[in-house]
Amino acid sequence: MDICFEFERLLLQSLGSSISVVDEVQGFRYFDARDLLGFVDGTANPNGLDLAASTLVGDEDGEFCGGSYVVVQKYLHDLTAWQQLSNDLQEKIIGRTKIDNVEIDDDAAPQKSHKSLATVVDAEGVEHDILRDNMPFGRAGANEFGTYFIGYSRYLWVIEKMLQRMYVGEPAGSYDRLLDFSTPHTGTTFFAPARPLLQAMAGAALK
């Protein structure tokens, strides 16, 4: 946390009055990559060669090639209500077992799990991944428990489709039951450009 604090201090000092801080959240790693709901988070993240293919804009948008779309959302959990559920029901809502993190098949279920609704497949049957770098946060004394969702994607439509499936449901009405216990308080979309574009923008600004 000391290095993160120093980086934040130096960054804000450099940017000065050009920006305003509207929200500040200090996250942390929780046990074996779990969130505060007790489940392992980010299991389906791409890795290896799939990582860049899923997160970095390619030749389809040459001017912004190498950049990434970043969506962040701050969720607060009602842990009291969540902990009143049985482990079996929690697992059905998440779509994975709690202890050993094994996927649960809910293809035949009328209402899909969070795992299924957060999986995006296009019209050709191709699954599109995003990189989730979620961080738990909380203050036990203030009864505040949450997850700061950070998603990186090559295509913005993939995250938009994922959120639509979660909030509206597929079919409509069969929304993500996790949202009964986890409430979004912020939502922002960014584009993180690659170094060549940043250098070009800096050069243009100096002219």
Cis? peptide before 184, omega within 30° of 0: no
Catalytic residue among 35, 41, 129, 176: 41
What's the Cα-to-Cα distance from 1 to each of 6, 22, 26, 57, 139, rounded to whole Å? 9, 20, 9, 31, 15
Task: State yes or no: is 23 an active-site residue.
Answer: no
Q: What is the DSSP letter of 17?
A: G
Strand partners, 139: 144
DSSP string, 118-138: T-EE-TTS-EE--EE--EEEE
As annotated, the active-site residues are 41
